[in-house]
Protein backbone atom coordinates (compact mmCIF):
# COMPACT_ATOMS: atom_id res chain seq x y z
CA UNK A 1 0.00 0.00 0.00
CA UNK A 2 1.32 3.45 -0.88
CA UNK A 3 1.61 6.01 1.89
CA UNK A 4 -0.83 8.89 1.97
CA UNK A 5 0.74 12.29 1.35
CA UNK A 6 -0.72 13.42 4.68
CA UNK A 7 1.06 10.68 6.63
CA UNK A 8 4.04 11.56 8.78
CA UNK A 9 7.39 10.30 7.45
CA UNK A 10 10.67 10.00 9.36
CA UNK A 11 13.84 9.66 7.29
CA UNK A 12 16.82 8.46 9.32
CA UNK A 13 20.05 9.73 7.77
CA UNK A 14 20.91 13.11 6.24
CA UNK A 15 23.29 11.94 3.55
CA UNK A 16 22.69 11.84 -0.19
CA UNK A 17 20.10 9.06 0.06
CA UNK A 18 18.11 10.63 2.89
CA UNK A 19 18.12 14.27 1.81
CA UNK A 20 17.41 13.55 -1.86
CA UNK A 21 14.48 11.36 -0.79
CA UNK A 22 13.12 14.01 1.56
CA UNK A 23 13.21 16.72 -1.09
CA UNK A 24 11.55 14.55 -3.73
CA UNK A 25 8.78 13.41 -1.38
CA UNK A 26 8.12 17.02 -0.47
CA UNK A 27 7.86 17.87 -4.17
CA UNK A 28 5.30 15.08 -4.54
CA UNK A 29 3.06 16.59 -1.89
CA UNK A 30 4.09 14.77 1.28
CA UNK A 31 3.46 17.41 3.90
CA UNK A 32 5.08 15.96 7.05
CA UNK A 33 8.69 14.92 6.40
CA UNK A 34 11.36 14.92 9.12
CA UNK A 35 15.03 14.00 8.67
CA UNK A 36 17.07 12.78 11.65
CA UNK A 37 20.85 12.42 11.94
CA UNK A 38 23.63 12.44 14.53
CA UNK A 39 25.17 15.52 12.92
CA UNK A 40 24.01 18.45 10.83
CA UNK A 41 24.51 17.87 7.10
CA UNK A 42 27.11 17.61 5.73
CA UNK A 43 27.85 15.09 8.52
CA UNK A 44 31.52 15.12 9.41
CA UNK A 45 31.93 11.34 9.13
CA UNK A 46 29.40 10.51 6.44
CA UNK A 47 30.33 8.96 3.12
CA UNK A 48 28.77 11.87 1.19
CA UNK A 49 31.14 14.54 2.46
CA UNK A 50 34.63 16.13 2.38
CA UNK A 51 36.10 18.06 -0.53
CA UNK A 52 35.45 15.83 -3.55
CA UNK A 53 33.67 12.85 -5.09
CA UNK A 54 34.11 11.41 -8.59
CA UNK A 55 31.37 12.26 -11.08
CA UNK A 56 31.36 9.77 -13.94
CA UNK A 57 29.03 8.12 -16.41
CA UNK A 58 31.38 5.15 -16.72
CA UNK A 59 29.72 1.88 -15.76
CA UNK A 60 29.85 -1.70 -16.95
CA UNK A 61 26.19 -1.96 -15.85
CA UNK A 62 23.87 -0.25 -18.39
CA UNK A 63 21.27 0.63 -15.73
CA UNK A 64 23.70 2.72 -13.70
CA UNK A 65 25.28 4.13 -16.85
CA UNK A 66 21.90 5.47 -17.97
CA UNK A 67 21.19 6.86 -14.49
CA UNK A 68 24.63 8.50 -14.44
CA UNK A 69 23.90 10.21 -17.77
CA UNK A 70 20.72 11.62 -16.26
CA UNK A 71 22.53 12.74 -13.11
CA UNK A 72 25.30 14.29 -15.22
CA UNK A 73 22.77 16.70 -16.70
CA UNK A 74 21.91 17.79 -13.17
CA UNK A 75 25.55 18.39 -12.35
CA UNK A 76 25.93 20.51 -15.48
CA UNK A 77 22.87 22.64 -14.62
CA UNK A 78 21.35 22.54 -11.16
CA UNK A 79 24.63 21.79 -9.37
CA UNK A 80 27.01 23.45 -11.83
CA UNK A 81 28.63 25.55 -9.08
CA UNK A 82 29.72 22.37 -7.30
CA UNK A 83 30.88 20.44 -10.37
CA UNK A 84 34.31 20.52 -12.05
CA UNK A 85 34.63 18.82 -15.43
CA UNK A 86 38.28 17.80 -15.34
CA UNK A 87 37.88 14.57 -17.30
CA UNK A 88 38.16 11.04 -15.92
CA UNK A 89 40.89 8.54 -16.81
CA UNK A 90 40.56 4.83 -16.04
CA UNK A 91 43.91 3.04 -16.17
CA UNK A 92 45.13 -0.49 -15.50
CA UNK A 93 48.57 -2.00 -14.95
CA UNK A 94 47.47 -5.15 -16.76
CA UNK A 95 46.11 -5.30 -20.34
CA UNK A 96 42.50 -6.13 -21.12
CA UNK A 97 40.98 -5.11 -17.80
CA UNK A 98 37.51 -6.61 -18.01
CA UNK A 99 35.65 -3.85 -16.15
CA UNK A 100 37.32 -1.09 -18.19
CA UNK A 101 36.43 -2.87 -21.44
CA UNK A 102 32.80 -3.36 -20.42
CA UNK A 103 32.53 0.21 -19.18
CA UNK A 104 33.88 1.65 -22.44
CA UNK A 105 31.42 -0.48 -24.44
CA UNK A 106 28.49 0.58 -22.25
CA UNK A 107 29.35 4.27 -22.51
CA UNK A 108 29.61 4.03 -26.29
CA UNK A 109 26.34 2.09 -26.47
CA UNK A 110 24.70 5.03 -24.69
CA UNK A 111 26.04 7.50 -27.25
CA UNK A 112 29.09 8.59 -25.29
CA UNK A 113 32.69 8.95 -26.41
CA UNK A 114 35.81 7.57 -24.80
CA UNK A 115 39.41 7.88 -25.99
CA UNK A 116 41.40 4.65 -25.83
CA UNK A 117 44.82 4.85 -24.20
CA UNK A 118 47.01 2.02 -25.44
CA UNK A 119 49.72 3.46 -23.23
CA UNK A 120 48.99 5.69 -20.27
CA UNK A 121 51.67 8.11 -21.39
CA UNK A 122 49.28 9.14 -24.17
CA UNK A 123 47.24 10.95 -21.52
CA UNK A 124 49.96 13.60 -21.27
CA UNK A 125 49.16 14.76 -24.80
CA UNK A 126 45.80 16.00 -23.55
CA UNK A 127 47.03 17.01 -20.09
CA UNK A 128 50.65 18.26 -20.30
CA UNK A 129 50.75 19.11 -16.57
CA UNK A 130 50.43 15.47 -15.54
CA UNK A 131 53.42 14.36 -13.45
CA UNK A 132 52.31 10.74 -13.17
CA UNK A 133 54.30 7.63 -13.99
CA UNK A 134 51.83 6.08 -16.43
CA UNK A 135 54.14 4.07 -18.67
CA UNK A 136 52.93 0.54 -19.31
CA UNK A 137 49.40 1.30 -18.17
CA UNK A 138 46.39 1.26 -20.49
CA UNK A 139 42.74 2.24 -20.37
CA UNK A 140 40.71 5.16 -21.60
CA UNK A 141 39.84 8.81 -21.04
CA UNK A 142 36.30 10.15 -20.81
CA UNK A 143 36.27 13.93 -21.03
CA UNK A 144 32.67 13.93 -19.82
CA UNK A 145 33.33 13.53 -16.12
CA UNK A 146 35.34 14.91 -13.24
CA UNK A 147 34.49 15.65 -9.64
CA UNK A 148 32.14 17.55 -7.37
CA UNK A 149 32.51 19.41 -4.10
CA UNK A 150 30.81 16.77 -1.95
CA UNK A 151 30.26 18.75 1.25
CA UNK A 152 29.15 21.80 -0.74
CA UNK A 153 26.66 19.71 -2.71
CA UNK A 154 25.15 18.20 0.45
CA UNK A 155 25.03 21.65 2.01
CA UNK A 156 23.08 22.94 -0.99
CA UNK A 157 20.74 19.94 -0.92
CA UNK A 158 20.11 20.37 2.81
CA UNK A 159 19.39 24.08 2.33
CA UNK A 160 16.86 23.25 -0.35
CA UNK A 161 15.21 20.78 2.03
CA UNK A 162 14.96 23.45 4.73
CA UNK A 163 13.47 25.97 2.32
CA UNK A 164 10.93 23.35 1.25
CA UNK A 165 9.75 23.00 4.86
CA UNK A 166 11.51 19.77 5.78
CA UNK A 167 12.60 19.50 9.43
CA UNK A 168 16.20 18.36 9.91
CA UNK A 169 16.99 17.40 13.51
CA UNK A 170 20.48 16.53 14.76
CA UNK A 171 22.25 15.88 18.05
CA UNK A 172 20.70 13.65 20.76
CA UNK A 173 17.20 14.47 19.45
CA UNK A 174 18.23 13.30 15.99
CA UNK A 175 20.35 10.26 16.90
CA UNK A 176 18.29 7.11 16.40
CA UNK A 177 19.28 4.20 18.63
CA UNK A 178 16.51 1.73 17.72
CA UNK A 179 13.22 1.27 15.92
CA UNK A 180 9.88 1.33 17.73
CA UNK A 181 7.95 -1.78 16.78
CA UNK A 182 4.39 -2.84 17.46
CA UNK A 183 4.06 -6.41 16.33
CA UNK A 184 5.12 -6.60 12.70
CA UNK A 185 4.93 -2.84 12.18
CA UNK A 186 7.54 -0.11 12.69
CA UNK A 187 5.79 2.91 14.21
CA UNK A 188 8.69 5.21 15.04
CA UNK A 189 12.21 5.53 16.40
CA UNK A 190 13.88 5.70 19.81
CA UNK A 191 16.34 8.56 20.25
CA UNK A 192 19.61 8.98 22.13
CA UNK A 193 18.07 11.54 24.50
CA UNK A 194 15.67 8.90 25.82
CA UNK A 195 12.59 10.08 23.93
CA UNK A 196 10.88 8.56 20.93
CA UNK A 197 9.30 9.92 17.77
CA UNK A 198 6.42 8.20 16.01
CA UNK A 199 5.50 8.27 12.34
CA UNK A 200 3.33 6.48 9.81
CA UNK A 201 6.39 5.58 7.75
CA UNK A 202 10.08 5.23 8.65
CA UNK A 203 12.72 5.35 5.91
CA UNK A 204 16.21 4.12 6.80
CA UNK A 205 18.92 5.93 4.84
CA UNK A 206 21.57 5.14 7.40
CA UNK A 207 24.40 3.97 5.15
CA UNK A 208 27.21 2.24 7.00
CA UNK A 209 25.24 2.38 10.28
CA UNK A 210 22.22 0.43 8.92
CA UNK A 211 23.07 -2.90 10.55
CA UNK A 212 23.00 -1.25 13.96
CA UNK A 213 19.26 -0.66 13.54
CA UNK A 214 18.23 -3.54 11.30
CA UNK A 215 19.74 -6.97 10.70
CA UNK A 216 20.54 -6.91 6.99
CA UNK A 217 24.03 -8.41 7.28
CA UNK A 218 23.27 -10.82 4.43
CA UNK A 219 22.56 -7.86 2.12
CA UNK A 220 24.89 -5.08 3.30
CA UNK A 221 27.98 -4.57 5.41
CA UNK A 222 30.29 -1.67 6.22
CA UNK A 223 33.92 -1.21 5.26
CA UNK A 224 36.33 1.65 5.88
CA UNK A 225 38.21 2.94 2.82
CA UNK A 226 41.42 5.01 3.25
CA UNK A 227 41.52 8.67 2.24
CA UNK A 228 44.39 11.14 2.59
CA UNK A 229 44.79 14.90 2.06
CA UNK A 230 47.93 16.94 1.40
CA UNK A 231 48.29 20.71 1.54
CA UNK A 232 49.96 22.33 -1.49
CA UNK A 233 51.05 25.89 -1.99
CA UNK A 234 49.21 27.93 -4.59
CA UNK A 235 52.12 27.64 -7.02
CA UNK A 236 52.30 23.86 -6.51
CA UNK A 237 48.58 23.54 -7.11
CA UNK A 238 48.77 25.67 -10.25
CA UNK A 239 51.44 23.30 -11.60
CA UNK A 240 48.73 20.62 -11.62
CA UNK A 241 46.04 22.74 -13.25
CA UNK A 242 44.10 21.04 -16.05
CA UNK A 243 44.72 17.49 -14.89
CA UNK A 244 42.00 14.82 -14.75
CA UNK A 245 40.67 12.56 -12.05
CA UNK A 246 42.67 9.35 -12.44
CA UNK A 247 42.20 5.84 -11.08
CA UNK A 248 44.50 2.84 -11.15
CA UNK A 249 42.04 -0.03 -11.59
CA UNK A 250 44.76 -2.52 -10.55
CA UNK A 251 45.30 -1.01 -7.09
CA UNK A 252 42.06 0.90 -6.58
CA UNK A 253 43.96 4.12 -5.81
CA UNK A 254 42.46 7.27 -7.33
CA UNK A 255 43.41 10.94 -7.22
CA UNK A 256 41.86 14.35 -7.83
CA UNK A 257 43.28 17.63 -9.12
CA UNK A 258 44.02 20.12 -6.31
CA UNK A 259 40.88 21.76 -4.95
CA UNK A 260 40.58 25.41 -6.08
CA UNK A 261 40.98 27.88 -3.26
CA UNK A 262 42.28 25.50 -0.61
CA UNK A 263 44.92 23.84 -2.86
CA UNK A 264 44.38 20.47 -1.17
CA UNK A 265 45.41 17.28 -2.96
CA UNK A 266 43.29 14.19 -2.26
CA UNK A 267 44.15 10.52 -2.74
CA UNK A 268 41.94 7.55 -1.85
CA UNK A 269 41.39 3.87 -2.59
CA UNK A 270 38.26 2.23 -4.02
CA UNK A 271 38.83 -1.25 -2.66
CA UNK A 272 37.60 -3.80 -0.16
CA UNK A 273 38.71 -1.85 2.88
CA UNK A 274 38.60 -2.68 6.56
CA UNK A 275 35.94 -4.24 8.77
CA UNK A 276 35.39 -2.81 12.24
CA UNK A 277 33.68 -5.58 14.19
CA UNK A 278 31.35 -4.46 16.97
CA UNK A 279 28.65 -6.21 18.98
CA UNK A 280 25.16 -4.72 19.05
CA UNK A 281 22.06 -5.70 21.01
CA UNK A 282 18.93 -6.60 19.09
CA UNK A 283 15.79 -7.54 21.02
CA UNK A 284 17.74 -9.12 23.86
CA UNK A 285 20.11 -10.98 21.53
CA UNK A 286 23.53 -9.83 20.40
CA UNK A 287 24.89 -9.60 16.86
CA UNK A 288 28.43 -9.03 15.57
CA UNK A 289 28.56 -6.60 12.66
CA UNK A 290 31.00 -4.30 10.91
CA UNK A 291 30.17 -0.67 11.57
CA UNK A 292 31.74 2.73 12.19
CA UNK A 293 31.40 4.27 15.64
CA UNK A 294 28.03 5.71 16.60
CA UNK A 295 28.70 7.79 19.74
CA UNK A 296 31.45 10.00 18.30
CA UNK A 297 32.84 11.20 14.99
CA UNK A 298 34.70 8.66 12.88
CA UNK A 299 36.82 11.36 11.26
CA UNK A 300 38.16 12.95 14.43
CA UNK A 301 41.35 10.97 15.07
CA UNK A 302 42.71 10.93 11.51
CA UNK A 303 43.87 7.35 12.02
CA UNK A 304 44.65 4.95 9.16
CA UNK A 305 46.09 1.43 9.45
CA UNK A 306 49.76 1.32 8.49
CA UNK A 307 49.19 -0.79 5.38
CA UNK A 308 46.53 1.66 4.17
CA UNK A 309 48.91 4.57 4.67
CA UNK A 310 51.60 2.73 2.73
CA UNK A 311 49.27 2.02 -0.19
CA UNK A 312 48.19 5.66 -0.41
CA UNK A 313 51.86 6.67 -0.44
CA UNK A 314 52.51 4.24 -3.29
CA UNK A 315 49.64 5.85 -5.15
CA UNK A 316 51.13 9.28 -4.58
CA UNK A 317 54.50 8.10 -5.89
CA UNK A 318 52.78 6.95 -9.06
CA UNK A 319 50.43 9.88 -9.66
CA UNK A 320 52.14 12.81 -7.89
CA UNK A 321 55.78 11.81 -7.31
CA UNK A 322 56.83 15.37 -6.45
CA UNK A 323 54.58 15.30 -3.39
CA UNK A 324 54.92 11.65 -2.42
CA UNK A 325 56.69 12.38 0.86
CA UNK A 326 54.66 15.46 1.82
CA UNK A 327 53.14 15.07 5.32
CA UNK A 328 49.43 14.43 5.56
CA UNK A 329 47.18 17.36 6.30
CA UNK A 330 44.48 14.88 7.30
CA UNK A 331 43.53 11.24 6.87
CA UNK A 332 40.43 9.19 7.56
CA UNK A 333 38.47 6.05 6.78
CA UNK A 334 35.47 6.70 4.52
CA UNK A 335 32.74 4.21 5.42
CA UNK A 336 31.14 2.38 2.49
CA UNK A 337 27.91 0.38 2.68
CA UNK A 338 28.90 -2.69 0.69
CA UNK A 339 26.42 -4.93 -1.10
CA UNK A 340 27.06 -8.27 -2.86
CA UNK A 341 26.96 -6.88 -6.42
CA UNK A 342 27.31 -3.16 -5.73
CA UNK A 343 23.56 -2.62 -6.16
CA UNK A 344 21.59 -0.19 -4.03
CA UNK A 345 18.97 -1.46 -1.58
CA UNK A 346 15.79 0.55 -2.14
CA UNK A 347 12.73 -1.37 -1.02
CA UNK A 348 9.87 -1.77 1.41
CA UNK A 349 10.92 -4.17 4.14
CA UNK A 350 9.45 -7.59 3.27
CA UNK A 351 8.12 -8.35 6.77
CA UNK A 352 8.09 -5.08 8.76
CA UNK A 353 5.23 -2.84 7.69
CA UNK A 354 5.86 0.90 7.80
CA UNK A 355 9.59 0.46 7.13
CA UNK A 356 11.34 1.39 3.88
CA UNK A 357 15.08 0.96 3.31
CA UNK A 358 17.18 3.20 1.03
CA UNK A 359 20.85 2.40 1.47
CA UNK A 360 23.73 0.41 -0.02
CA UNK A 361 25.61 3.21 -1.78
CA UNK A 362 28.51 0.76 -2.23
CA UNK A 363 31.00 3.55 -2.85
CA UNK A 364 29.26 4.94 -5.94
CA UNK A 365 25.93 6.44 -4.83
CA UNK A 366 26.94 10.09 -4.43
CA UNK A 367 27.21 10.87 -8.15
CA UNK A 368 23.46 10.32 -8.51
CA UNK A 369 22.60 13.16 -6.12
CA UNK A 370 20.62 15.22 -8.69
CA UNK A 371 18.28 12.30 -9.54
CA UNK A 372 18.56 9.74 -6.74
CA UNK A 373 15.55 11.03 -4.82
CA UNK A 374 13.32 10.53 -7.87
CA UNK A 375 14.30 6.87 -8.15
CA UNK A 376 13.88 6.25 -4.42
CA UNK A 377 10.47 7.97 -4.32
CA UNK A 378 9.32 5.91 -7.32
CA UNK A 379 10.21 2.73 -5.40
CA UNK A 380 8.56 4.08 -2.25
CA UNK A 381 5.36 4.74 -4.20
CA UNK A 382 5.61 1.39 -6.04
CA UNK A 383 5.90 3.20 -9.38
CA UNK A 384 9.41 2.12 -10.39
CA UNK A 385 9.90 -0.28 -13.33
CA UNK A 386 9.92 -3.93 -12.29
CA UNK A 387 13.54 -4.26 -13.44
CA UNK A 388 14.67 -1.66 -10.92
CA UNK A 389 12.48 -2.95 -8.13
CA UNK A 390 14.02 -6.40 -8.51
CA UNK A 391 17.55 -5.02 -8.85
CA UNK A 392 17.22 -2.99 -5.65
CA UNK A 393 15.08 -5.46 -3.73
CA UNK A 394 15.93 -6.18 -0.10
CA UNK A 395 16.56 -9.87 -0.56
CA UNK A 396 15.61 -12.27 2.23
CA UNK A 397 18.47 -13.93 4.07
CA UNK A 398 19.22 -17.28 2.43
CA UNK A 399 19.62 -20.37 4.55
CA UNK A 400 23.22 -20.85 5.56
CA UNK A 401 24.07 -17.33 4.42
CA UNK A 402 27.77 -16.75 3.97
CA UNK A 403 29.71 -14.22 5.95
CA UNK A 404 28.69 -10.60 5.61
CA UNK A 405 32.32 -9.90 4.69
CA UNK A 406 32.08 -11.53 1.23
CA UNK A 407 30.63 -8.47 -0.54
CA UNK A 408 32.48 -8.42 -3.87
CA UNK A 409 30.73 -5.42 -5.43
CA UNK A 410 30.34 -4.74 -9.14
CA UNK A 411 33.86 -5.70 -10.21
CA UNK A 412 35.27 -2.16 -10.17
CA UNK A 413 37.21 -2.50 -6.93
CA UNK A 414 40.83 -3.46 -6.54
CA UNK A 415 43.59 -3.73 -4.00
CA UNK A 416 44.00 -6.12 -1.07
CA UNK A 417 41.02 -8.14 0.23
CA UNK A 418 38.86 -6.92 3.10
CA UNK A 419 40.74 -7.12 6.41
CA UNK A 420 39.34 -7.05 9.92
CA UNK A 421 40.91 -4.37 12.08
CA UNK A 422 42.89 -5.68 15.04
CA UNK A 423 42.01 -4.79 18.60
CA UNK A 424 44.89 -2.32 18.71
CA UNK A 425 43.82 -0.69 15.44
CA UNK A 426 40.21 -0.41 16.59
CA UNK A 427 41.35 1.40 19.72
CA UNK A 428 42.92 4.11 17.55
CA UNK A 429 39.85 4.82 15.44
pLDDT digits (tens, 9 = 90+) for 21-49: 999 999 999 999 999 999 999 999 999 99
DSSP 8-state secondary structure symbol assigned to residue 261? T
SS3 content of the chain, % helix, strand, coil (to 5): 30, 25, 45
315's CB contacts (< 8 A; 6+ apart) are 248, 251, 253, 254, 255, 267, 269
User: How far apart, in Å, are the Cα atoms of 273 and each of 136, 221, 348, 415?
Assistant: 26, 11, 29, 9
Express each pLDDT in 225-270 by its tens digit.
Answer: 999 999 999 999 999 999 999 999 999 999 999 999 999 999 999 9
3 state SS of 337: strand
**Domain spans of the chain, in order of start:** 8-427
Bridge pairing between strands 330-338 and 253-255: unpaired
Rounded CA separation 35/280 (Å): 24
* Contact between residue 268 and residue 229 where contact means Cβ atoms under 8 Å apart: no
User: Which residues have C-beta within 8 Å of that of residue 136, sequence separation ≥ 6?
Assistant: 93, 119, 120
> 234-239 — which CB contacts under 8 Å span 24+ positions?
234/263, 236/263, 236/322, 236/323, 237/263, 237/265, 239/129
In this prediction, residue 318 carries a pLDDT of 97
What's the confidence (pLDDT) of residue 396?
85
Q: What is the mean pLDDT of residues 324-339?
A: 97
* Phi, psi dihedrals of residue 381, rounded to the nearest 5°: -90, 10
- List, in order, residues 6 or more apart from 402 with CB less than 8 Å away: none
Gap between the Cα atoms of 304 and 331, Å rounded: 7
Q: Is the peptide bond before 42 cis (omega within 30 degrees of 0)?
A: yes
* Residue 61 φ/ψ, nearest 5 degrees: -90, 120
CB count within 10 Å of CB 374 equals 18
| pLDDT 10s digits, 89-120 | 999 999 999 999 999 999 999 999 999 999 99
Confidence band of 1 (pLDDT split at 50, 70, 90) = low
The mean predicted confidence, pLDDT, of the chain is 96
CB 407 within 8 A of CB 221: yes
Model confidence at 304: pLDDT above 60: yes
Residue 109 and residue 266 in contact, taking contact as beta carbons nearer than 8 Å: no
Specify the pLDDT at position 165: 97
Longest dimension (CA), the chain: 65
The CATH architecture to which 8-427 belongs is 3-Layer(bba) Sandwich (3.50)
Q: What whole-number distance in Å separates Cα of residue 354 and Cα of residue 198? A: 11
Amino acid sequence: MSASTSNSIIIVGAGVFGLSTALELKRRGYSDVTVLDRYNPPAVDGSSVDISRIIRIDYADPVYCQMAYEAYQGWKTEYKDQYYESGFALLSETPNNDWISKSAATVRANGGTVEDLEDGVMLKKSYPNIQSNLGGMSGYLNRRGGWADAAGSIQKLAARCSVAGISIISGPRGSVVSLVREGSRVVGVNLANGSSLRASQVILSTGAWTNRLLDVAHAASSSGQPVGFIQLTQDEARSLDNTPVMINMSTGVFVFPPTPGSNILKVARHGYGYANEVTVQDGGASRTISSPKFDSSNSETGYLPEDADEDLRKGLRQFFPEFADRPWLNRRLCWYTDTPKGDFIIDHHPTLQGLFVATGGAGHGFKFLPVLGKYIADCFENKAPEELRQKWRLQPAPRGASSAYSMKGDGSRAGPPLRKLTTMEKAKL
